[in-house]
Amino acid sequence: MNAPASETLQRLAHILGPHRLLTAANDLQPFLTDHRALYRGHALAVAQPETAAEVAQLLAVCNQARIGVVPQGGNTGYCGGATPDESGAQLVVSLARMKRIRAIDALNYSLVAEAGCVLADVQRAAEDADRYFPLSLGSEGSCQIGGNLSTNAGGVHVLRYGMMRELVLGLEVALPDGRLLSSLTRLRKDNTGYDIKALFLGAEGSLGIITAASLKLFPRIRATATTFAAVRDPRAAIELLARLRAASADRVSSFELIPRLAVELTVRHIQGVRDPLQASHSWYVLCELSSSRAHDALETMLSECLEQALTDGLLADAVLARNERERAALWTLRESIPEAQRRDGASLKHDISVPVAAIAEFIERAGNWVREHVPDGRLVAYGHAGDGNLHFNINQAPDADRSAFLARGDTVKRAIHDLVRDFDGSISAEHGIGRLKVAELERYAPAVELDLMRAVKHAFDPNGIMNPGKVLR
């Protein structure tokens, strides 16, 4: 290690004390690889601050010494954003020790949580106050609020409550120059100039480190009605969604599209998962209505709508969850699709979105391309169809050669992303850019937008210390 680096480490240790600055190779290991194991980095050290003031001081030191800083939350991100590069010169800042719920204001329907709070703990804290925090993802037992904010996470309730960006009232952020932006407002209305906090949402740690957030709460959910329905095709699914929204006074909180192969993979690879319907069908939806009124007639509403859809030929079959156990089983099927895919072999993944009304046409055109050009792959296009978001994944066929299949990745990505552009869609609907999609962003974002992003980056982080190489080069 060179002299300046060791001097910087001493200054960092002075801020944190020796036990919260990890430098031993063994201690660093858990922080060096991303969730999907796409990247493996090295680090100068891992800092474990406990207060916002400590985070700000760390950044001031790193800024002076021009040390790159990589914020890390639950490390469940899909784009390698929380992993340091291979240089061994970057500091990982783990927010895991900052996990206090600082305040809950039930009357104001808001809560202040530190960045390292695990999402499931925030959901529970809201529930204890008879309120509801709606962000919900498969990784909610380990992802953190800071990571959710920084990736502008989506999940299964976006249709009703919006993405993370829409759930935020205020932020506290440590800036690269060592200042602390303290804007933990609980206001619903505030038109005093630029919305600075908005820039940190989805910035993936490239502008500063979020240390706490003031979040919106909602009335606690007291009734749900959940169905797993076999739809004629994706077009019928979107027609069904439009009908359900109107018939239920917009109480649809989730609407997930699931292809037959995803059901087969979960039944095969995930213990306890069963096919909810007797016969097999090409496409399904998992749909949930929810309400804060315990006696809302959600099931009646849902059944009537499903019956009409059966009569009109949109549906072939459907089951309603009769109790919490059956509901949980349906959600386990949905949430374990990524894991089942992983266990089945290699896959090529695309987190895309198109306008909701265009989903069926996209699946048709992209599906045709895949069938023609990827004979050793099988399409598993599933996801948050109610938001126009598909995880347009292709799994390796059972007898396919893994490396030959993966070697097609760039060609497939180009074709899929070009098609997404033709549909005015997005090449990253909810997982962000991280390191994985930097070149894709450069290719598809409008030049003016990229210019403005670079100008914002320079204004906040002129020395380029914040998460170098992520989002922007």
Residues making contact with ligand FAD (CB under 6 A): 35, 70-78, 81-82, 95, 115, 137-139, 143-144, 146-148, 150-151, 153-155, 204-205, 209-210, 338, 430-431, 434, 467, 470
Specify whether the CB–CB gap between 154 and 387 falls below 8 A: yes
Q: How far is the CB of 323 from ligand FAD (least distance, A)?
A: 25
Residue with tokens 């602390």: 180
Name residues whose C-beta falls within 8 Å of residue 418's C-beta, 6 or more positions apart in sequence.
none
Identify the three-state secondary structure at position 182: strand
| Cα gap 134→122, rounded to integer Å | 10
Cβ nearer to ligand FAD, comparing 417 with 470: 470
Residue with tokens 């497939």: 412
| Cα gap 308→381, rounded to integer Å | 27
Cβ nearer to ligand FAD, comparing 302 with 426: 426
Cβ nearer to ligand FAD, comparing 90 with 224: 90
**Residue 324, exposed/middle/buried by CB under 10 A (0-12, 13-18, 19+)?**
exposed
Residue 459, number of CB atoms within 10 A of its CB = 10
Cβ nearer to ligand FAD, comparing 137 with 287: 137
Cβ nearer to ligand FAD, comparing 74 with 377: 74
Cβ nearer to ligand FAD, comparing 209 with 374: 209
Q: How far is the CB of 156 from ligand FAD (least distance, A)?
A: 6
Residue 112, number of CB atoms within 10 A of its CB = 20
Q: How far is the CB of 77 from ligand FAD (least distance, A)?
A: 3
| Structure tokens, 327 | 């509901």
The 8 Å CB, 24+ separation contacts for 2-8 are 4/65, 5/44, 5/65, 5/67, 5/89, 7/65, 8/44, 8/61, 8/62, 8/65, 8/67
Q: How far is the CB of 32 from ligand FAD (least distance, A)?
A: 13
Rg, Å, the chain Cα set: 23
Q: Determine the straight-line distance between the first and last CA of the chain, rounded to whole angstroms.
A: 26
| Structure tokens, 28 | 């660093």
- What residue is closest to ligand FAD based on CB? 147
Cβ nearer to ligand FAD, comparing 146 with 276: 146
Q: How far is the CB of 279 from ligand FAD (least distance, A)?
A: 29
Q: What is the DSSP letter of 437?
A: T
Q: How far is the CB of 140 from ligand FAD (least distance, A)?
A: 8
Question: Residues 142, 145, 146, 149: is their CA dihedral positive or negative?
Answer: positive
Cβ nearer to ligand FAD, comparing 259 with 469: 469
Specify whether the CB–CB gap between 87 and 67 falls below 8 A: no
Specify whether the CB–CB gap between 204 and 81 falls below 8 A: yes
Q: How far is the CB of 23 from ligand FAD (least distance, A)?
A: 20
Cβ nearer to ligand FAD, comparing 309 with 386: 386
Q: How far is the CB of 155 from ligand FAD (least distance, A)?
A: 4
Q: How far is the CB of 316 from ligand FAD (least distance, A)?
A: 27
Q: How far is the CB of 173 from ligand FAD (least distance, A)?
A: 8
Cβ nearer to ligand FAD, comparing 129 with 137: 137
Partners of 47 in beta bridges: 21, 93
